[in-house]
RNA sequence: UCCGGGUUGGGGUAGUGGUCAUCCUUCAGCCUUGUGGAGGCUGAGACGCGGGUUCGAUUCUCGCACCCGGACCCA
């Protein structure tokens, strides 16, 4: 017996069917917005992640040296890859570039609820537009995905913040504050005690009174107050940008799912503008389901022309938890349209019927194990066959097959030459008198 | 990497320092090559791994692995 690797999962048909339904729903929304699918490698050079995130990142990667001596890593996220792709073909791609992709990623970390070492995400990004409408389109894609999956505004919310508001306010307090550390403190603030939060802000360079004031400003949600307090062009512009995004989201039908929450910060290493996180508003532990935001500097830092970008990446595992808690996780029960049952040596006719039904798009099974009548019927039942077509020697002598509806148990005969005939999906009702 | 709780057939369980480890379910075959959900018969399938204590360990003990949850992290 071989055991599965820690943090990796197997998906058996029932769960996989439900996952497929969810993936198809999200990708369908992305396609309707004109996002185009891209395919990307599972391996990239380790250096790409180190340059972006620092040497410590290597501990979180599945990284190794390949047989050609290259230091490579299984991709822990998509953003650097698509940034690389944008830079490589920058001149020939028409802007805005709108791409999506669903695939697994790998991080060497401890599994937790909704977190695994191999995990799936659907990434959706816009490159080349700094217009607030681009941010809003990402929010609208995310909102449409959630509602198409059966969720309502009662069950999730997008907490929207703006990195430049945070950074601008912090700079207004102290010119040389450690913005990164302070933002990280903000990101944690909901989970830790106020005192601990203030201590972290103090560590970042504020004094204690400033920390309290900063906290209170973030909580007020009065954007005008923030502008007045800071009195800087940067905060003024950031607030204007956030408002413009929310206005556009209103027009795109996504505003009702958004709430202003400056205490939402995300990890934020490369975020530059609007950031948001999707929260489960029904769950007892309101942890972030997924997040996204604007990262205008990344492409340039990858060696490209300055190219603004905004994106979102719903992770399938936390999304699954949310959908299950909301009671809208798709049905995992498998179904079969037809089971073509053979009695005696009737394979030529049974196979012809099965092929005809399949050509019409039905899910059709027939015996491939030489089983008895009763065993075939039991199998048909176990795979939730809707209709069983009995192809038996006795009926064939009369030029007939038997059509049985498994739910009711009723059955009737049909002329073998007229089955399925012109019908796409014949049932018992089509032949019952 | 750290903390807490777990681990007995595929799933769910009972139990014990000593005969063939309990029961339910599942799966396969048969009763049943003309009728599934019921029933019967037969079969498959487990003490996570390693060390220690012991005449003997699934049971006691230590370590590890894995699972669940949490911390850190969340690019």
Q: Which nucleotide is nearest to A404 (CA to C1')?
A: B35
- Identify whether the C-beta of residue A83 lies closer than 8 Å to the C-beta of residue A52: no
User: On chain B, which bases lie within 7 A of the protein's CB atoms?
Assistant: 1-3, 27-37, 65-75
What span, in angstroms and rounded, lies between the C-alpha atoms of A399 and A402?
Answer: 10
Q: Is A124 helix (H, G, I), strand (E, B) or coil?
A: strand
Element (H, E) at A57: none
How many helices (H) and strands (E) in chain A?
16, 16
CA/C1' separation A185–B28 (Å): 59
Q: What is the ipTM of this complex?
A: 0.85
What span, in angstroms and rounded, lies between the C-alpha atoms of A152 and A138?
Answer: 18
What span, in angstroms and rounded, lies between the C-alpha atoms of A160 and A258?
Answer: 6
Q: E-assigned strands of A297-392?
A: 309-312, 336-343, 364-366, 385-392
Note the pLDDT tens digit of each residue in A190-246: 778 888 888 888 888 888 888 888 888 888 778 999 999 888 999 999 999 999 999
CA/C1' separation A3–B15 (Å): 28
Q: Which nucleotide is nearest to A1 (CA to C1')?
A: B48
- The CATH homologous superfamily to which domain A13-40+75-325 belongs is Bira Bifunctional Protein; Domain 2 (3.30.930.10)
Q: Which nucleotide is nearest to A187 (CA to C1')?
A: B74
- Identify whether the C-beta of residue A162 lies closer than 8 Å to the C-beta of residue A266: no
Per-residue pLDDT of chain A (433 residues; tens, 9 = 90+): 677 888 998 888 888 999 999 999 999 999 999 999 999 999 999 999 988 777 778 888 999 999 999 999 999 999 999 999 999 999 999 999 999 999 999 999 989 888 999 999 999 999 999 999 999 999 999 999 999 999 999 999 999 999 899 989 988 888 788 888 888 888 888 778 888 888 888 888 888 888 888 888 888 778 999 999 888 999 999 999 999 999 999 999 999 999 998 888 776 678 899 999 999 887 655 578 899 999 999 999 999 999 999 999 999 999 999 998 888 999 888 899 999 999 999 999 999 999 999 999 999 999 998 899 999 999 999 999 999 999 999 999 999 999 999 999 999 999 999 999 999 999 999 998 7
Q: Which nucleotide is nearest to A76 (CA to C1')?
A: B75
Strand A258-260 versus strand A63-65 pairing type: unpaired
| CATH number of the A336-431 domain | 3.40.50.800
Q: Which nucleotide is nearest to A384 (CA to C1')?
A: B36
Residue nearest to nucleotide B65 (CA to C1'): A6
CA/C1' separation A1–B16 (Å): 28
Residue nearest to nucleotide B73 (CA to C1'): A109
CA/C1' separation A383–B27 (Å): 15
Q: Which nucleotide is nearest to A117 (CA to C1')?
A: B74
For residue A141 the two structure tokens come to 């894609």
CA/C1' separation A343–B42 (Å): 25
CA/C1' separation A65–B3 (Å): 34
State how far Cα A358 lies from the chain centre. Answer: 32
CA/C1' separation A63–B62 (Å): 34
* Sequence ranges of the domains in chain A: 13-40+75-325, 336-431
Note the pLDDT tens digit of each residue in A75-94: 999 999 999 999 999 999 99
């Amino acid at each position: 017996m071989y055991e599965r690797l820690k943090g990796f999962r197997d998906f058996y048909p029932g769960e996989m069917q439900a996952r497929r339904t969810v993936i198809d729903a999200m990708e369908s929304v992305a396609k309707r917005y004109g996002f185009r699918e891209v395919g990307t490698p599972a391996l990239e050079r380790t250096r790409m992640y180190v340059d972006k995130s620092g040497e410590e990142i290597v501990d979180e990667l599945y990284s190794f040296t390949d047989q050609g001596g290259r230091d490579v890593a299984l991709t822990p996220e998509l953003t650097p890859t698509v940034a690389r792709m944008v830079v490589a073909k920058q001149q020939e791609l028409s802007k805005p570039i709108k791409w999506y992709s669903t695939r697994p990623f790998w991080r060497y970390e401890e599994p937790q609820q909704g977190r695994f070492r191999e995990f799936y995400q659907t990434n959706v990004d816009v490159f080349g537009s700094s217009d607030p409408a681009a941010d809003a389109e990402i929010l609208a894609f995310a909102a449409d995905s959630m509602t198409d999956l059966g969720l309502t505004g009662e069950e999730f919310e997008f907490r929207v913040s703006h990195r430049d508001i945070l950074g601008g306010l912090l700079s207004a307090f102290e010119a040389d504050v450690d913005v990164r550390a302070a933002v990280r403190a903000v990101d944690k603030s909901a989970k830790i005690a106020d005192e601990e939060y203030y201590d972290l802000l103090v560590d970042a360079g504020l004094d204690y009174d400033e920390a309290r004031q900063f906290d209170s400003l973030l909580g007020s949600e009065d954007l005008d107050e923030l502008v007045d307090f800071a009195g800087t062009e940067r905060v003024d512009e950031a607030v204007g940008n956030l408002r413009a995004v929310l206005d556009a989201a209103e027009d795109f039908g996504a505003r009702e799912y958004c709430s202003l929450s400056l205490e939402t910060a995300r990890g934020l290493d490369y975020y530059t503008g609007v950031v948001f996180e999707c929260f489960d508003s029904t769950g007892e532990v309101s942890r972030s389901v997924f997040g996204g935001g604007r990262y205008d500097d990344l492409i340039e830092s990858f060696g490209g022309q300055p190219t603004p970008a905004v994106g979102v990446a719903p992770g399938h595992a936390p999304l699954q938890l949310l959908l299950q808690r909301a009671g809208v996780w798709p049905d995992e029960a498998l179904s079969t349209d037809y089971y073509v049952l053979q009695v005696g040596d009737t394979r030529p006719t049974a196979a012809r019927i099965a092929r005809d039904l399949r050509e019409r798009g039905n899910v059709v099974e027939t015996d491939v194990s030489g089983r008895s009548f009763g065993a075939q019927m039991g199998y048909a039942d176990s795979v939730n066959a809707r209709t069983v077509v009995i192809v038996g020697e006795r009926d064939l002598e009369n030029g007939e097959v038997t059509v049985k509806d498994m739910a009711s148990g009723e059955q009737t005969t049909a002329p073998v030459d007229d089955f399925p005939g012109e019908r796409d999906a014949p049932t018992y009702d089509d032949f019952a008198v």
